[in-house]
Chain A
């Protein structure tokens, strides 16, 4: 076994998942809870962006962000069951991470704008927040399904790996 996901990254991942879910369920219901969850997400994604440049090997953007053609080709390979074995994020997971960070940034920033005097009650801000937040939720579903699919195809427990940080070492 080898450590792939360092502790700060794992804490970040589960704290983000919890915050996003809390924000989702408290929307239009428990304003203060919703806002605190949103601010938490901003701090978390700021941390992740920094660690994408300065973190451990598998946390860095350079190790998993791939051009779109590579991502599309990889998706085609998965459809044929050829997953390869990536210790860190595979190209599809890498693309998802980037899209997630962008959408979360748009959602949290537009949400924050809504409670500033300048943008309170302004339609385009409200619509942007609604749309980006809905897309985040759709992406969460895609993420969970994608992880479960990869678990089945690669025959390894990727959820446990995000808890312990460890995976089977690279196949020789």
Chain B
């Protein structure tokens, strides 16, 4: 019986930790609510990053964002652009 109580406490703590993780996480995913068919092309996000002075390595779709991998001043960044209006929603320094 005692092991069941211990196991339940561990399970509850684990759920608590993993549940809280998104609140402190940096997995950025939400940039727009419009449908994918209406999205501007990813090349425009790369162009925006380039215009802002970044060396663009690649880009990909992350949730409802375009995530651009950029290098500036020897530092590494992940840039999150909205596919709706190409506004920069979030910058993550690596």
Residues of A within 8 A of B (CB): 25-26, 28-31, 115, 117, 120-123
Residues of B within 8 A of A (CB): 18, 21-22, 24-27, 57-58, 69, 71, 74, 76, 92, 94
In the bound complex, residues from chain A placing their C-beta under 8 Å from that of B71 are 117, 120-121
The chain B residue with its CB closest to the CB of A35 is: B94
A120: which of B18, B27, B57, B92 is its contact (CB, 8 Å)?
A: B57
Known contacts being A115-B76, A117-B76, is A30 close to B26, with CB within 8 Å?
A: yes
Interface residues of chain B: helix, strand, loop or mixed (majority): mixed
In the bound complex, residues from chain A placing their C-beta under 8 Å from that of B22 are 29
Interface residues of chain A: helix, strand, loop or mixed (majority): loop
The chain A residue with its CB closest to the CB of B14 is: A25
In the bound complex, residues from chain A placing their C-beta under 8 Å from that of B69 are 120-121
A29: which of B27, B57, B94 is its contact (CB, 8 Å)?
A: B27
In the bound complex, residues from chain B placing their C-beta under 8 Å from that of A123 are 58
In the bound complex, residues from chain B placing their C-beta under 8 Å from that of A115 are 76, 94
In the bound complex, residues from chain B placing their C-beta under 8 Å from that of A30 are 21, 24-26
Residue from the set A25, A26, A29, A123 with the largest chain B CB neighbour count within 10 Å: A29
**Whole-angstrom distance between the alpha carbons of A31 and B94 in the complex?**
8
